[in-house]
Structure 1
Amino acid sequence: MLTAFNTWLSDNASVLEVWGGFVVSSMLNLASHAGVKTQMSSCRVKDVSSAIGKIARKGYKDPIAEMTDLVGARIVVLLSKDLKVVASLLSSNGHWDVQLARDPEEEVAQSPEKFDYQSLHYELRAKAGVIIDGVSVPEGLCCELQIRTLMQHAYAEVAHDSIYKSTWPAPVKARRYIASSAALIDTADHLFCETMEILAEENRERGELLEQLSELYDAKISPSKIKDQKLNMIILDEFDEELQGQDTLLEINDLLTRKSYIASRIKERAVSDPFWAQPITILAYWLVSRSPHEVFDKWPFAGSHDALDMIYSDLGLNH
């Protein structure tokens, strides 16, 4: 059996590599379209000596069918909230059948007091007729996919060979420290996820206002392709108090209608100065018209004070 398996693995190494590479590239593409930023990725084909050692340990009778990690792929994301998004995308690819091989959430439910290795493991088996770059992938060929966070990856890299795969049993203190680090990683991930939720909620209203300002700018001035989101969001943040409880969009639209020259001047200036291509310029006119003595000193970008001077001049006001 071992001779036949050895020959099969050597003969099919390139097919396994193509299959693993396809899994990685497909998942990176799906993650990108879902707005998930991946931190790293990899794939590897199991070498013969490692495979034969595993056969001896596990007692496989048909290692080609039973060994799920002859080719392995890994996708690393930032936080645990990203894990769920990427995992939900697996069934979107029609080239494989998906089976969850290891679910850390289930393990936590069974032993909530235990902190350990947390990666998600999936078995992706090729469907019939899969051809990648001219290479025919045998039906049922398995690629084991690991999905983990960046912190889980760091933990696994330290603990895998040094603790769990070590030739000799690790000392009690070492195992205690590695368990403590797993608990810290779990806590840090939870805090990071909560922080991201708070930030997302905080920025949601400003993001919606910026989108509305952009639509109004495009309709009243001209479509702009050089919008600087950071600049616009910083100004929205700086004048957050002035925007509270106001029907800002309606009032800006009314201002641009009453003073129709504003639109033409913004459009002329946008040709040579990117500041005027920002949706925030129409908000600046509104702010200055309401509180001329406060806006200039509160403006967060000294580099655009000249442009702000023009706004005051256009409105016939002083700061």
Structure 2
Amino acid sequence: MTPERMQELIELFKSNRNEFDVFASGIRQWFLGHDELVSKESVHSIRYRLKDLEHLRDKLTRKFADVDLTNSEFFSRITDLAGVRILHLHQAQFNEIHSAITKKISQNDWVLAEPAKAFTWDPESQEFFAGHGLHVELRDTYYTSVHYLVKPRADSPLCCEIQVRTLFEEIWGEVDHKLNYPNPTSNIASREQLRVLSKLVGAGSRLVDSIFRTA
């Protein structure tokens, strides 16, 4: 991909940025106003963002330097141009959040761009997510999150990545992001400490689950 073509794709996103913003902010507002999720306090907090232009340039450089993307391929292969992150306290709340999302999809209000995926390193979590009909991908990076890529309609270039994770998983994700984005750290000690942190996060999440089950 030439620098000129890369800039064209960045300008293409800029010209469609408002449409992505409207779609993703609408998803955020839907969660904030969902009666059942609000009444049950299933959602702790919501984060929302559009892709930073320099981060987009970095991603195009890292992953598509040798690929000449068409405009339609740009939108179909860069699926995190807009994102909404749903944070919850304990695992049981995921059931309610997942149910609300799948109902929205079954009503054709949103269309999945691809099957929803759960990323995890933990065999117990793998079983839990598979029980919800999710495709589970084991990650040796210790990343844990559930991703839903939703579009307003099948032929739309707009796509929003909905991520669902616990607060503990969010802490790990933030530390990992600082260390490994856009380029992975080469510090062996940091990588090992990040692995240990993932184990602590897993233990913490299970303890929180136990607290709420026995409350």
Could you say which residue in structure 2 is the equivalent of 1:77?
88
Task: State the number of aligned residues.
Answer: 189
Instruction: Check the 8 A contact 2:120/2:139 in 1, yes or no.
Output: no
> Among the aligned pairs, what percent are the same residue?
20
Can you list the C-alpha shifts for 1:138-179, whole angstroms capped at 9, x where unaligned?
7241101111111111111111121x2264634222111111
Q: CA deviation at 1:107?
A: 6.9
Q: CA deviation at 1:6?
A: 2.4
Could you say which residue in structure 2 is the equivalent of 1:11?
15
Matched, 1:48 2:53: yes
**Match runs of 1:90-109 below 5 Å:** 90-93=101-104, 94-98=108-112, 99-104=114-119, 108=123, 109=126
Instruction: Check the 8 A contact 2:121/2:138 in 1, yes or no.
Output: no
Q: CA deviation at 1:2?
A: 2.6
Query: Whole-Å Cα distance in 2 between the matches of residues 13 and 113 of structure 1?
Result: 31
Specify which structure has the bigger relative contact order, considering alpha-carbon pairs within 8 angstroms and separated by 6 or more residues: 2
- Judged with a 3 Å threshold, the aligned counterparts in structure 2 of structure 1 residues 91 and 112 are, in CA distance, closer, same or farther, namely closer
Query: Whole-Å Cα distance in 2 between the matches of residues 9 and 27 of structure 1?
Result: 25
Specify the SS of the correspondent of 1:38: coil
Of residues 181-190 and 113-122 in structure 1, the stretch that sits farther from structure 2 once superposed is 113-122
Instruction: Check the 8 A contact 1:119/1:147 in 2, yes or no.
Output: yes
Matched, 1:22 2:29: no
- Judged with a 3 Å threshold, the aligned counterparts in structure 2 of structure 1 residues 125 and 113 are, in CA distance, closer, same or farther, namely closer
Query: Whole-Å Cα distance in 1 between the matches of residues 95 and 181 of structure 2?
Result: 28
Query: Whole-Å Cα distance in 1 between the matches of residues 200 and 102 of structure 2?
Result: 32
Instruction: Check the 8 A contact 1:100/1:122 in 2, yes or no.
Output: yes
Query: Whole-Å Cα distance in 2 between the matches of residues 57 and 97 of structure 1?
Result: 29
Specify the SS of the correspondent of 1:92: helix
Structure with the larger helix share? 1
Query: Whole-Å Cα distance in 2 between the matches of residues 90 and 27 of structure 1?
Result: 9
| TM-score, scaled to structure 1 | 0.53
**Match runs of 1:1-319 below 5 Å:** 1-30=5-34, 32-33=37-38, 35-59=40-64, 61=69, 62-93=73-104, 94-98=108-112, 99-104=114-119, 108=123, 109=126, 116-127=142-153, 139-162=156-179, 164-165=180-181, 167=183, 169-199=185-215
Could you say which residue in structure 1 is the equivalent of 2:129?
none
Task: Please give the root-mean-square deviation of Cα atoms over the aligned residues, in Å.
Answer: 2.8
Instruction: Check the 8 A contact 2:121/2:139 in 1, yes or no.
Output: no
| TM-score, scaled to structure 2 | 0.76
Structure 1 unpaired stretches of 5+:
129-137, 200-319
Instruction: Check the 8 A contact 1:42/1:75 in 2, yes or no.
Output: yes
- Judged with a 3 Å threshold, the aligned counterparts in structure 2 of structure 1 residues 118 and 105 are, in CA distance, closer, same or farther, namely closer
Instruction: Check the 8 A contact 1:5/1:64 in 2, yes or no.
Output: no
Of residues 84-93 and 26-35 in structure 1, the stretch that sits farther from structure 2 once superposed is 26-35
Query: Whole-Å Cα distance in 2 between the matches of residues 111 and 49 of structure 1?
Result: 29
Query: Whole-Å Cα distance in 1 between the matches of residues 207 and 18 of structure 2?
Result: 43
Could you say which residue in structure 2 is the equivalent of 1:238?
none
Could you say which residue in structure 2 is the equivalent of 1:228?
none
